[in-house]
Structure 1
Amino acid sequence: MTLTDPASQALEAQEELGEQTAQPGSAVVLQTPTRPGAALDIAALNRAGIPLLDVTVPVYNEEADLEVCVRNLDAYLSTQFLHTYRITIADNASTDSTLRVAERLARELEGVHVVHLEEKGRGNALRRVWLASDSPVLAYMDVDLSTDLNALAPLVAPLISGHSDLSIGTRLSRSSRVVRGPKREFVSRSYNFLLHSLMGARFSDAQCGFKAIRADVARQLLPHTLDKAWFFDTELLVLAERCGLRCAEVPVDWTDDPHSKVDIVRTALEDLRAMYRMTTDMARGRVPLAQLQAAMARGPLPAGERAEEASRGQSLFGQLVRFGAIGVASTLAYAALYLLGRAFMGAQAANFVALLITAIANTAANRRFTFGVLGAERLARHHFEGLIVFGIGWALTAGALVWMNSLPHPGQWLELSVLTVANLAATALKFLLFRLWVFRRRA
């Protein structure tokens, strides 16, 4: 099967489901929808012959490790896991004998199935397999089995009970036992720090290859994921978090695979670009968060307020980092506009115009990125209150100008320096007013 655009893939997979019937030994069968938040009816699944858990193992040119991995996983599930299961090997356009090994394992092991894709990418593989699976709980793990399999049952238990919507293994918990080199440790922690500070994420470990999700939730979120490769995990988790879904975190024992084929530096750079793309998509409304929130709402809180509710859980430190980054950009823009304005207008007029333009842009950027408020709800009110905050900042800088003009021959650069300092002070006051007043959650 050939993959195309991710959203089209999702629709295509869903259409395929309506045309197929459950066949013994088939990896793609009719889906059985579940009510979000409900405990799974395991007896009904057993009567219907539907595996409760579908574990996907994405592979690309893994002929050496695939058989050991799948046999160990199948042995663990058959002896330690108390429910029915399926193992789906997702071959991502391998060019060696990986597909032949996978097909042989499927013939020898009853619970193993194979899906072959003609395009590389973990995101592609998981999106296709998960949308086509009939199992109510979907999971995946890396072929190297770096994560101890004893964490699998705790990983899926919150999804079976209905307590959580998705579940992730984390290597960054204090109770996790992790063996890996300092380079991978540094890159992993730096990546998660950027996620927390720039995107407001609260989950601890985005890239651990050990995750599970309820199928009903996956069907809602997957059509809106775009990444084809490693950022898929992060994209899915951020969407789920922005929709107010519950994510369980399970400490894992994890041992680094010294033969891993992942180029962590290149992957990290690609993920940074994807973070920028996703942030832009959400800011411009290309990701329909409001519709997703409404579709998966669990309580009486309106969708617009759910977005603000999610933003309240963001850490103060993360908000400060994002606000600071926006503030630096605003200050540089202010300085450029002020110097441009001084070429043909007085100091007070140039100060007012530069502050007004940057204030409007600053309020819009902080509304979306710092405090996570999306959509048009209370947009006009937020900008009106932002202008009041701008007025306070303008009063500070205007007062600085009055003081500076009382000095003999201050000079343009001294003038700009004094205004910049006053603007930074106004920025600090602005953060407090934004957090405690403008974007404070209303009762």
Structure 2
Amino acid sequence: MAHPQLSIVIPAYNESARIESTLERVMQCVETQDWDAEVLVVDDGSRDDTPAIVKRWMELHPRLHLIQNPGNRGKGYSVRNGLLQAAGDIVMFTDADLSAPMEEADRLLAALEAGADVAIGSRWMDRTRQTIHQPLYRQFFGRCFNWITRTVMGLPFKDTQCGFKAFKRPAAQVIFRLQRIERWGFDPEILFIARKLRYSVVEVPVTWGHDERSRMSYLKDGMKMLEEMAVIRGNSIAGRYDKDIAAMKDTSKMVTAPVEHGTKPAVSELPH
């Protein structure tokens, strides 16, 4: 069977309360939009029924797949694990709460079709598109974190943390092989890497609604993300990304990904 045009990766950890409704909405959207798509749920060591629910849905949907991490490794690890195994020409990830409705993927796909290598959803470019607003304290911490990210990382984007991003396959295969951060701070890192490699990154306003069940703690996880940003800057200053890029080029000038669900491995050239 030919590889799909689109791969949708959903990182999941203890999502038994909502994974079924998420899969229902995603699979319905795929059918309604007539996308040639596969859906990959990456289970991050869940201790509940998340894997069992996904397996049950797989019986009805041949292009739904379950990838299981070796224990709880973090969202960044999950996204990387899923995208590097994805078989689509376009690969994207979305949060399990679908804060950005799956239908909004059309906006990311349009940006890629127009020439971007990476398209990232944004909650802040057009606030009128927010259907359910965050509590004020979350908005405050989110804005502070984003300001620090823009300043420390040199990223020009209004929203680095929206869990709704899409990539052309060649860009994803390179960016995610260079990724080192495995938890919440991976978003600024992959954008930092993309800009370092001079990929075209376009920010796209998307409809978005806050989910009160969000597990992210802006105090605890926010401090960890600040620590991880320091690590990213340290890696850059120490030349670790440059060394990794050089090693990838020296090996074969090609990047090959094992694809469990496709009919052939992913092969992508490094940018010149």
TM-score by length of 2: 0.86
> How much has 1:176 moved relative to structure 2?
4.8
Higher helix share: 1
Alpha-carbon distance in structure 2 between the residues aligned to 1:85 and 1:225:
25
Map of 2:122 onto structure 1: 170
- Following superposition, the deviation at residue 150 of structure 1 comes to 2.9
Structure 1: runs of 5 or more not aligned: 1-47, 298-443
Q: Residue in 2 aligned with 1:245?
A: 199
SS at match of 1:109: coil
Q: Partner of 2:50 in structure 1?
A: 98
1:166 corresponds to which letter in structure 2? V
8 A Cα contact 2:25 2:102, kept in partner: no
| 1:175 positional shift | 5.3
- Tell which has more relative contact order, 1 or 2 (C-alpha 8 A, sep 6+): 2
C-alpha separation between the residues in 2 aligned to 1:230 and 1:237? 13
Q: Tell me the percent identity.
A: 26
Alignment of 1:181-192 (within 5 A): 181-192=135-146
Q: Could you say which residue in structure 1 is the equivalent of 2:40?
A: 88
1:162 shift after superposition: 6.1
SS at match of 1:201: coil
Q: Distance in 2 between matches of 1:148 and 1:274?
A: 29
Higher strand share: 2
Match of 1:72 among 4, 7, 25: 25
Alignment of 1:338-349 (within 5 A): none
1:224 lines up with 2:199 in the alignment:
no
Matches within 5 A, 1:9-408: 49-80=2-33, 82-120=34-72, 121-159=74-112, 161=113, 163-174=115-126, 176-178=128-130, 179-288=133-242, 291=246, 295-297=270-272
CA offsets 1:300-343 (integer angstroms, 9 cap, x no match): xxxxxxxxxxxxxxxxxxxxxxxxxxxxxxxxxxxxxxxxxxxx
Match for 1:132: what amino acid? Q
What TM-score results when the alignment is normalised by the length of structure 1? 0.54
* 1:176–1:252 Cα contact (<8 Å) kept: no
Larger radius of gyration: 1
What is the distance in 1 between the residues matched to 2:126 and 2:82? 33
CA shift for structure 1 position 235: 0.6
**How many angstroms apart in 2 are the aligned matches of 1:171 and 1:180?**
11
Q: Which amino acid is the alignment partner of residue 56 of structure 2?
A: R
Helix, strand or coil at the partner of 1:90: strand
8 A Cα contact 1:135 1:215, kept in partner: yes
SS at match of 1:250: strand
State whether residues 151 and 250 of structure 1, in contact with CA within 8 Å, keep that contact through their aligned partners in structure 2: no
Q: What secondary structure is seen at the aligned counterpart in 2 of 1:240?
A: helix
Residue 108 of structure 1 aligns to a residue whose secondary structure is coil
**1:334 aligned residue:** none
Are the equivalent residues in 2 in contact too, given 1:146–1:254 (CA < 8 A)? Answer: yes
Structure 2, gaps ≥5 residues long: 254-269
Q: CA deviation at 1:219?
A: 1.5
Deviations 1:173-209 (A, max 9, x none): 0355222111111111111100111221112211101
Q: What SS does the aligned partner of 2:15 have?
A: coil
Partner AA of 1:251 in structure 2: P
Q: Secondary structure at the match of 1:88?
A: strand
1:83 is displaced (CA, Å) by: 3.0
Q: CA deviation at 1:122?
A: 1.2
Q: Number of matched residues?
A: 248
Deviations 1:142-172 (A, max 9, x none): 111111233111112232x260111110011
Partner Cα distance (1:216, 1:196) in 2: 26
